[in-house]
Amino acid sequence: MAQSRSSGSKQQLETVEPIGTRVLIRKDEDKKTTKGGIELPGNIEIPTITGRVVAVSAQVDRDEDYPIAQYDKVLFNPKNAVPVDFEGDNRLFVVPVEDIVAVFRRSG
């Protein structure tokens, strides 16, 4: 679950828990330099479709067909991603699990 502190006299903890077959992903920073070292202008947007799983819904957690866990690095299709207005940089997205196309694993 993603957490944030709201401002005010009393500190309250807010959480975001995905429901159904969805996960909460913090997308990686947009790249401003290519692998070859070419600097990209600031006004060009290259969609970053990798990120880290922040939280998984209870339904996804129980389903063996979805080998996705919290902190996994994933590749996802951002078309159906719903932005969560939770942080200033707005990098949190609720994503249907069907839109996760790959999970990065380390061998060894």
Q: Where are the domains of the chain?
A: 14-29+46-104
| pTM (2 d.p.) | 0.72
Q: Return the higher-pLDDT residue of 41 and 102.
A: 102
If pLDDT is split at 50, 70 and 90, which confidence band does 54 have? very high
Comparing 85 with 77, the larger pLDDT belongs to: 77
- Taking Cα atoms as reference points, which of 4, 6, 97, 103 lies closest to residue 56? 97
Q: Does domain 14-29+46-104 have CATH number 1.10.3720.10?
A: no
pLDDT of the residue at 37: 72
Q: Taking 90 as the threshold, does the pLDDT of residue 36 lie above it? A: no
**What is the average pLDDT across 39-45?**
62
